[in-house]
Structure 1
């Protein structure tokens, strides 16, 4: 039996599960390692086999353990090697759960009905030439009318991450430095690793990226700055106009600011309660703004708009002509319909209202337990916990899955323990969800055993 098992503190199922989870996190237990039998570990720890069995079940629900029948229980091997490294860190926790709040996806019941748009565009969705304009003129007009500031060029690509990726490939060279929010969006970090770029973290407070942190990052001469202006993932914070202006002023006044390209990912704008904001209002020649419609209109639409200086946007368009060429004009027509149809506009507005209500309901319920998440916009919130791994396991035992905080940090973050909770999927029962989150978040959870029983 592995020597680390003797160091497990506590005798409850949660204590045992958390102890084994720490052995997996530290690498003392590797993927594929066989775990001791329930009876053997129970004897070593002086607990009942039923207690160890409950711990094993919690680890299984957390995606850390798999049972192979009579062969025993093993540390789960990841079968998602096609995913980038940090995305694997999130996907490793997918699986069955009574309430999955880990995915960062919108509530499908709050997306606008596509049937009307599909019926209206079917007769006109054709492309007679491979060299037509990449953006339908009617879509470009709608986008420009809603853009946060005037821009030279706008194009359409296959989702926000596609837009960010193609812009980075245009402005970042191998060995360049790129300023990134810390915490930030894990796929951005994987993208930069693939490009051979070095991450320069900038810190956030309740108002978003701090001017002081950005000023310090600019000393390293980054070629780009990845910024989420609204409903930042994972924290849910949105920039005020005053903070955005302060960040633009830092860039404009810094000796290295002239060489910087700001890439803004406005992924949740249509369901955000914050108003339009872009640093392009003050430094338009240095900002590429990306507007996605996945969270507001449907992830499977795979469509986002990209606008900014022609010198950058035109290069993105030219490179795409040697690949996908253009984003499906059928999808573009559907998007035009969704953005102009009164009923669809009302449905998105109702979704925005409900997400705000769900954020407020969960925050209020958490406050009754003495737990305060970040002030969040959009569908996610960032919850501090006493021990990340223990919280994940304990919530899994309660039938709730959340995303681990570790992959969201741009650098190693010892002592910083968080989980990301997709609050937008908490349709009802906010007090019960808050009770389970509080039990997992606090160092000495109040009424933890009764809460686990409540969700069992």
Structure 2
């Protein structure tokens, strides 16, 4: 298939699976042994008559599944010790009926469980403090306040701290997006950025397309703003069905879309660049806002360059790009931002009405950290650690959960999406686990249509210790017990 072709999600997955299955068979048969180098991307492209991007994606999937590993400037090699992980879930289906969101009650219950310091936080998407540059940020914050003692006691301007906006604009070059500092507005985390983007670009009663499954934090904000949703099919490997969104836009059934193109929460999938470009083109053609949550964009597991954001393909300003440093530097900083495009005036006005000023001291400390080479070094370590821990959790699920269990092979981020047999109730498991000081996120939280009851999400940015391993063993025991009843 030519490199410039635009196959459907199903076609893309079929091609990736063909390449990945071919290499997996060679490893299983012993043709490729631990330590052997596998064919280069270009060589495999010729052998399989597929595009470079198809081979690259297949190799990333094999890496996520623990079969191969990338070595800088050397290529891909069969891992010395391959993890055994569950097979991936199937793609979801679209539900074109507009729905009102109602997930806040169960979400509040999850937050109540997570509030206990004794709980093992497999249900949160919060990185362990040991993974964060805590001491470095603390020193920068103290230095900032010592040098500018008034900084912690005055209001910031609504658009945000200028040095931080400059550093964010510089970082966004890596995501393929050319955004000036004046086109960026800082926020109190990515949650506020998404909430303000909804206020700026949409109105109560509007309908937006969302991925299915979709992060419940996004669904909560849609519920609060009175915006209805249409759930669009999402493939665990290549992301949202662009064809479906295009049909909805053509029929006038949606007034916008909210998409996590890089490492969807909970699937961990990454849209190919051609699909990203096509999605942006569709939304721009119909002059519809596209809200992008790219909070995991820096946390890719391969050794290549950072994946492009949807914003990289935005030429007309219809993409409202939202992100933060909560998953990479510190959730306690509460430093996020939005590049709202043509909606900037409305975005700033919404910010003034809701929360006109963030912490200048926190923004200044983040800006100082971004100026140094230490941030990129930290990211490289963090990516390796998250990749390894995700595979450890997946391997533990394979070993201890019911035999029919499926799980994603995330290409980045920090979560694992697990599918159990039909009839399984993840809400029941959630309550039983909470009684044992273990938290999980039940699958129904990720859909306004009561879907995914037999799914659950686990956090992998957590300490790899005996207590966590025992918690996963206990979850598997509870799951087996429920299915046996």
Normalised TM-score (structure 2):
0.66
Q: Name the CA shift for 1:273/1:322 in 2 (closer, same or farther; >3 Å).
A: same
Counterparts of 1:24-423 in structure 2, within 5 Å, are 84-91=104-111, 93-94=113-114, 95=116, 99-113=120-134, 114-122=137-145, 123-124=147-148, 126=150, 134-147=159-172, 148=175, 149-151=177-179, 153-206=183-236, 207-218=238-249, 219-251=251-283, 257-273=285-301, 275-284=306-315, 285-309=317-341, 311-368=342-399, 370=403, 371-376=405-410, 377-386=412-421, 387=424, 388-393=426-431, 395-396=433-434, 400-413=438-451, 416-423=453-460
1:84 deviates by 4.1
Supply the distance in 1 between the matched residues of 2:203 and 2:121 (Cα, whole angstroms).
38
Aligned-partner SS, 2:210: strand
How much has 1:316 moved relative to structure 2?
A: 1.7
In angstroms, what is the RMSD of aligned CA positions?
Answer: 3.0
How many aligned positions are there?
359
SS at match of 1:326: coil
Partner secondary structure for residue 127 of structure 2? coil
Contact 2:222 2:228 in 1 (8 A): yes
Contact 2:202 2:255 in 1 (8 A): yes
SS of 1:361's partner is helix
Do 1:306 and 1:313's aligned partners in 2 also have CA atoms closer than 8 Å?
A: no
Q: Based on CA coordinates, which of the two structures has the bigger radius of gyration?
A: 1
Shift of 1:368: 4.1
Distance 1:283 1:399, change over 3 A: same
Contact 1:268 1:293 in 2 (8 A): no
Distance 1:258 1:161, change over 3 A: same
**Displacement of 1:180 after TM fit?**
1.5
How far did 1:156 drift?
A: 0.5
Give 1:177 deviation, angstroms: 0.8
> 1-side partners of 2:131 and 2:263: how far apart?
17
- 1:124/1:173 CA distance change after superposition, 3 Å: same
Distance between the aligned counterparts of 2:226 and 2:169, measured in 1?
34
What is the CA-CA distance between 1:90 and the residue it aligns to?
2.4
Determine if contact 1:101/1:422 at 8 Å carries over to the other structure: yes
CA distance in structure 2 between the partners assigned to 1:323 and 1:364 by the alignment: 44
5+ residue gaps, structure 1, are 1-82, 449-456
Distance 1:215 1:374, change over 3 A: same
**Offset at residue 154 of structure 1 (A):** 0.9
Give me the whole-angstrom Cα distance separating, in 1, the residues matched to 2:373 and 2:344: 31
Question: Post-superposition shift, 1:327?
Answer: 1.9
| Whole-angstrom distance in 1 between the partners of 2:353 and 2:469 | 52
Partner of 1:53: none
The answer as to whether partners of 1:139 and 1:333 remain within 8 angstroms in 2 is yes
TM-aligned CA deviation for residue 425 of structure 1: 1.1
* Superposition deviation, residue 421 in structure 1: 0.6
Unaligned runs of 5+ in 2: 1-102
Distance 1:443 1:165, change over 3 A: same
Deviations 1:96-150 (A, max 9, x none): 7563311221111111122221133111364698685733332222111111211
Shift of 1:404: 1.3
Native 8 Å contact 1:200 1:217 kept in 2: no
Cα distance, 1:220 vs structure 2: 4.5
1:247/1:203 CA distance change after superposition, 3 Å: same
Tell me the CA shift for residue 246 of structure 1. Answer: 3.7
Instruction: State the 1:411 CA deviation.
Output: 1.4
